[in-house]
Structure 1
Amino acid sequence: MAKETAYTEDNIKSLDWKEHIRMRPGMYIGKLGDGSSGDDGIYILLKEVLDNSIDEYVMGVGKTIEVSIQNNRVIVRDYGRGIPLGKVVDVVSKMNTGGKYDTKAFKKSVGLNGVGTKAVNALSEYFRVESNRDNKSVAAEFELGELKNEEKLDETSRRRGTKVSFVPDNEIFKKYNYRSEYVEKMLKNYVYLNPGLTIVFNGKKFYSEDGLKDLLSDNIRKEDRLFPIIHLRGEDIEVAMTYSKAQYSEEYHSFVNGQNTTQGGTHLTAFKEAVVKTIREFFGKKYDPSDIRKSIAAAISIKVMEPVFESQTKTKLGSTDMGGDLPTVRTYILDFVKRKLDNHLHKNPETAEKLQRKILQAEKERKDLSGIRKLARERAKKASLHNKKLRDCRIHLGDTKKERNLETTLFITEGDSASGSITKSRDVNTQAVFSLKGKPLNSYGLSKKIVYENEEFNLLQAALNIEDSLEDLRYNNIVIATDADVDGMHIRLLIITFFLQFFPEVIREGHLYILQTPLFRVRNKKETIYCYSEDERRQAVKILGKKPEITRFKGLGEISPDEFKHFIGDDIRLDPIMLDKTKSIDEILKFYMGKNTPDRQDFIIDNLRLEIDLAEELEQEIEA
């Protein structure tokens, strides 16, 4: 029988605001991360500060916001009303303190719970807030949430507004780095949702005149649109939609009170239902919902009173009511879409005709695939019982609703040796391994039929559970783990081609990565340093002194499981796969994966660096 543990007053602890945030940061900002994913904590810190500046613009003050990020120091300056001078310290350091509890001042605010900037303060090694108003200024400096200095000026010529500076704490955010692509995506969303607002980021201006119409214009090239973007506006709702000729999947961008709800919620569910219902009634045909929504590209933004989100990071709307005297979210969106979209289709018969042709084509493709789909599903189901390719984990993305900050990962590896090392090193709860047999098929230019006919593609699709939509994706992160040689690079390209061709939303939503593994192990009798680049190797040689032992890892199978666990644990290094918005997916695939062309040959020659050159350089440096 276990010995009884004492339970006294000494066991009861009360943490102050900053201690609680630092001990449980995930409760306030979601996952931590290192900046390789768009929803990592360092971007949430920026968002929390920006939300306050956006709310000033919504209230009619401050048309410009300036954002600077240099050496991981973030500065956000707005020209709003400025924080009331007597409350500057309280607003950033006292929980449940803020102006947004007054619904008259902030009726449909982005941030509502008085936590945001306190979390930024507590999780920053340096934090400074400055408020300028009424020709006076108050500033306060903090370290890890602790007030270090307060400055008050009775006379100042500074323009009114608020300036916040912070440096995230590298004890909490390990080896983090802001990626400008993710910051720019966030800022673009802010200007799409607030036409007339200018945001300047490191000297680059972002501005939108037509809101969500601009969002779709920037994401889908004119030649890839089935018809001109339909743009519908109401008092508390905005919708933009078209269909893409270049993709199979559905693409949605959803927002509530200016917040990008990446996981959707009640408003997105209602919008999907409304589109199907309206189009069915317009054509008087009971088309299958999947045929109606195939290749749709849409954006929806609504404003609700006191929204209820399913987490502090506000990525999924849970509210069912619009607030005030308005009906439910579902009823409001159904009525709006029915009225506005139906009206647009009646006024634009050419658009309606193109839409109906697309639906009929989707219906034909679905029926043509139905037989092979059924066989492929049966094969995948049978294989999943004894699938040698997939070594699954215990927890999946759909299971993590109670533990929102838990990351689940699928490693796609080549061959048995590499998958063996990862399988032995992985966390069996959250990390799965899918092993490829040799090089997969080049899927460029092929129809989706090949996904069902090709065993590896079919089993990979089944493992990810993305056949119908991304909603049921089983892993947060899909990580390509191949050797750092020519064959490994080719396999990476072939896997990326598969996703670009058939499931681009996996890349667009930031789920696909390449695993960085060390190229070198540099060690002496006292210390071992793993190096991921030539520069890191040079630094390691300098640190360890004369003639250390240098091992060049050519394949993942050469790294022992004991070593491998260091590279897929807390210190995992991932490179996100991102889409170049200036080029269409078809252009990218045609250049890299289509027939060999003189342009591609020139590109390869200009960028080729032989392994033998690197080896000779390595020998020369060791001798030196």
Structure 2
Amino acid sequence: MLSQLRGMDMQTLASLSSVSCRRQQSARSIISGVWQNWQGLRPLELCQRVHQSYRSFSTNEPTVEETYSRKTPLEHILLRPGMYVGPTERLPPVACWTLQSDSDRQNPIDGSVSRWAMHREELRSIPALLKVFDEILVNASDNRLRHPSSCNRIDVTIDRGDDKSKPRISICNNGKSIPVQMHKKEKMYVPELLFGHLLTGSNFDDDQRRLTGGRHGYGAKLTNVFSSEFVVEIRDTHSSRGKCKTYKQVWIDNMHTCSEAQVDIRLKQDTDLEYTKITFVPDLARLANDAKMTVLPEEEYKLMRRRVVDIAGCSGGKMRVTLNGEEISLPGFEDYVDLCRSSFEDDNGLPVPPMVYHRLNSRYEVSVGLSDSKSLDSISFVNGMNTSRGGTHIDALANQISHFIADHVNTKMARQLDPLELKSPISVTPRMVKRNLMLCVNCLIENPHF
């Protein structure tokens, strides 16, 4: 063995090591160290040293630097999207309310015709894709709660895209806008701070009572992160007296690249109205975990359209909402609830009992009716956000209503149902009532937790 090693040069030893090209330089340094001291070792010891030196390389063990790493917040969001925007894969089918394709439907009870009638269908949706849309839509709706005297309109445009163009979504609301001012501490304009930097916002004061969403400083930034293009346009007429400021800024490549803000300042005119407009191109490859997807899927398009109708219904007729240029006319939440009656007639062709609507106070609207799914149905909105899984407020209302109806049937209606008392006493349990209820709630809750 010793005679064979003497006859080899260092390059030959390196070629026999079977290590990757990336690690050959390290391998040569080890061989060099052994080679310089071979005269002081016995042949067996020399072979053992060479073998031990190569073991770590031949097994392809990662280095410490490769094993342990640190990610920036932006890198972590892109690496683990499920933690921030939900699953990027299609979920199992779930019954969802969507707009009917033939949406001109007449209500046989009062003869009214709805352009935005809904029905229930099984859909396999991608939560992440819906989340980034909802972040911007709810922000626009929140502006009405912040500035009810000036915000009364939201315009939504959803372009699904095609083979020649990417999908593009635009959401614009009027009313008092974000101030176009330099943030003295952060040395940037306020819109850039709010839309282009993570962990920023105006909702970090937990002692402040508010009806708007957002607590963690992500919100609209997540939409920016998961967009190949994200555009902010603002007109501000309130932050500087007598002046009108127009602001535009563009981010591309998942918020990695930000253009310089374009700010135009001129004298304010009476016709200048404030607005905030967000336009974005969703990164479907990341959001749907499908590099080949180039068109906004049909399932998500249906649910996005319905969410726009939700916002119109929750505004109580105080906001004009348009979808792809068409106005959604809903005077109030009661009218919205009627859209969600999957059938106005029962199996025998008779009109079903109407939903019973009641406004509990300025912050709670409730409609109760019969469920057509033989289980508790609920449609719930908290501060404009759809809580599809219900919540503690739904459980509390459903329990109170079920107990009241059960008690009423067992006591006051017993004689009506069996006037001669020929049968055993009627026993209706709250559970029996609850699974036949349809409960619709629109509420405003201070500092809600989801």
In the TM superposition, residue 30 of structure 1 has moved relative to its aligned partner by 0.9
In the TM superposition, residue 12 of structure 1 has moved relative to its aligned partner by 4.8
Query: CA separation of 1:277/1:240 partners in 2, compared to 1, >3 Å: closer, same or farther?
Result: same
Task: State the TM-score, normalizing by the size of structure 1.
Answer: 0.45
CA contact (8 A) 1:227 1:242 kept: yes
Q: Which amino acid aligns with 1:154?
A: I
Task: State the TM-score, normalizing by the size of structure 2.
Answer: 0.62
CA contact (8 A) 1:100 1:106 kept: no
In the TM superposition, residue 21 of structure 1 has moved relative to its aligned partner by 1.6
Out of 270, 290, 301, the residue aligned to residue 396 of structure 2 is 270
Query: CA separation of 1:247/1:305 partners in 2, compared to 1, >3 Å: closer, same or farther?
Result: closer
1:99 aligned residue: 202
Partners in 1 of 2:396 and 2:203 — Cα distance?
A: 28
Partners in 1 of 2:304 and 2:375 — Cα distance?
A: 26
For 1:251-400, what aligned pairs fall within 5 Å after superposition? 251-284=377-410, 287-309=428-450
1:152 aligned residue: 263
In the TM superposition, residue 247 of structure 1 has moved relative to its aligned partner by 4.7
Provide, for residues 161-218 of structure 1, a one-character-per-residue CA deviation record: whole Å limited to 9, x for no partner. 211111011331331515342222111111221112222111121232221x223211
Q: Is 2:294 aligned against 1:168?
A: no
Out of 362, 365, 390, the residue aligned to residue 235 of structure 1 is 362
Q: Is 2:72 aligned against 1:16?
A: yes
2:87 aligned residue: 31
For 1:14-163, what aligned pairs fall within 5 Å after superposition? 14-33=70-89, 37-59=124-146, 60=148, 61-70=150-159, 71=161, 72-85=167-180, 86-102=189-205, 107-134=210-237, 135-143=244-252, 144-146=254-256, 147-155=258-266, 159-163=273-277
2:321 aligned residue: 199
In the TM superposition, residue 34 of structure 1 has moved relative to its aligned partner by 7.2
Provide, for residues 463-501 of structure 1, a one-character-per-residue CA deviation record: whole Å limited to 9, x for no partner. xxxxxxxxxxxxxxxxxxxxxxxxxxxxxxxxxxxxxxx
Q: Secondary structure at the match of 1:300?
A: strand
Provide, for residues 333-390 of structure 1, a one-character-per-residue CA deviation record: whole Å limited to 9, x for no partner. xxxxxxxxxxxxxxxxxxxxxxxxxxxxxxxxxxxxxxxxxxxxxxxxxxxxxxxxxx
CA contact (8 A) 1:242 1:297 kept: yes
2:308 aligned residue: 187
Out of 161, 165, 177, the residue aligned to residue 296 of structure 2 is 177
In the TM superposition, residue 222 of structure 1 has moved relative to its aligned partner by 4.0
CA contact (8 A) 2:314 2:332 kept: no
Q: Which amino acid aligns with 1:44?
A: K
Q: Secondary structure at the match of 1:291?
A: helix
Partners in 1 of 2:176 and 2:67 — Cα distance?
A: 46
The CA RMSD measured in Å over matched residues stands at 2.9
Partners in 1 of 2:319 and 2:208 — Cα distance?
A: 20
CA contact (8 A) 1:142 1:149 kept: no
Provide, for residues 31-54 of structure 1, a one-character-per-residue CA deviation record: whole Å limited to 9, x for no partner. 224797455322221110111111
In the TM superposition, residue 237 of structure 1 has moved relative to its aligned partner by 1.9
Q: Which amino acid aligns with 1:67?
A: V
Q: How many residues align?
A: 306
Q: Compare 200-209 and 33-42 and name the one that shifted more.
A: 33-42
CA contact (8 A) 1:127 1:142 kept: yes
Structure with higher RCO (Cα < 8 A, 6+ apart) = 2
Partners in 1 of 2:436 and 2:408 — Cα distance?
A: 19
In the TM superposition, residue 256 of structure 1 has moved relative to its aligned partner by 1.9
Q: Which amino acid aligns with 2:264?
A: L
Partners in 1 of 2:388 and 2:439 — Cα distance?
A: 13
Query: CA separation of 1:37/1:65 partners in 2, compared to 1, >3 Å: closer, same or farther?
Result: farther
For 1:425-436, what aligned pairs fall within 5 Å after superposition? none
Q: Secondary structure at the match of 1:268?
A: helix
Partners in 2 of 1:207 and 1:114 — Cα distance?
A: 33
Unmatched 5+ residue regions in structure 2?
Answer: 1-55, 92-122, 162-166, 181-188, 238-243, 412-426
Unmatched 5+ residue regions in structure 1?
Answer: 310-624
Partners in 1 of 2:84 and 2:202 — Cα distance?
A: 19
CA contact (8 A) 1:88 1:139 kept: no
For 1:475-554, what aligned pairs fall within 5 Å after superposition? none
Query: CA separation of 1:159/1:12 partners in 2, compared to 1, >3 Å: closer, same or farther?
Result: farther
Q: Which structure dedicates a bigger proportion of its chain to helix?
A: 1
CA contact (8 A) 1:240 1:300 kept: yes
- Among all aligned residue pairs of Structure 1 and Structure 2, give the percentage whose two residues are the same amino acid: 22
